[in-house]
Amino acid sequence: MESTELRGWIDHRAMMLWVCIKCLILMVVGVTIALSLKGLSDDATLPLSIAVGAVGFFLWFCSFGAVMDIASMRSDMDEALRNSTFGSQFVKAPFPAYVALTTIVMLGTPVMLIWMLNA
């Protein structure tokens, strides 16, 4: 794969990760504002908890796929890109740690929000 095409795909998947992070932050801010304004009745906590869980799982699914796609692109580099500074650092990147961190953040945050909603 040509280096410009590979960098384009990596940029696309990294942008998807950025969108997932922004959506997660907006979800946290929205739930926090709703709870702080006492705008939730007892009947609204269960549907909101289900929605937070579903959106959180979807965001994890998207971010996990993006990290795995970026990790798999290491094998698609041509020799010129592999021998560059970017390529050598990209090959050494600890993608299992990124997957673990993504899982903790993208699934842990909705769990904490659901816990906060039902407290």
pLDDT digits (tens, 9 = 90+) for 65-88: 999 998 888 888 888 888 888 888
Domain that holds residue 7: 3-117
CA torsion sign for 6, 63, 14, 104 is: negative
pLDDT level of residue 119 (50, 70, 90 thresholds): confident
Tally of domains in the chain:
1
Q: Letter for the amino acid at 113?
A: L
Torsion angles phi and psi, residue 58, rounded to 5: -65, -45
Q: Please give the pLDDT value at position 1.
A: 66
**pLDDT digit string, tens, across residues 25-64:** 999 999 988 888 877 777 888 898 999 999 999 999 999 9
The full length of the chain comes to 119
Q: Please give the pLDDT value at position 77.
A: 84
Residues 6 or more apart whose Cβ sits within 8 Å of residue 56: 24, 27, 106, 107, 109, 110, 111, 113
Higher pLDDT, 102 or 77: 102
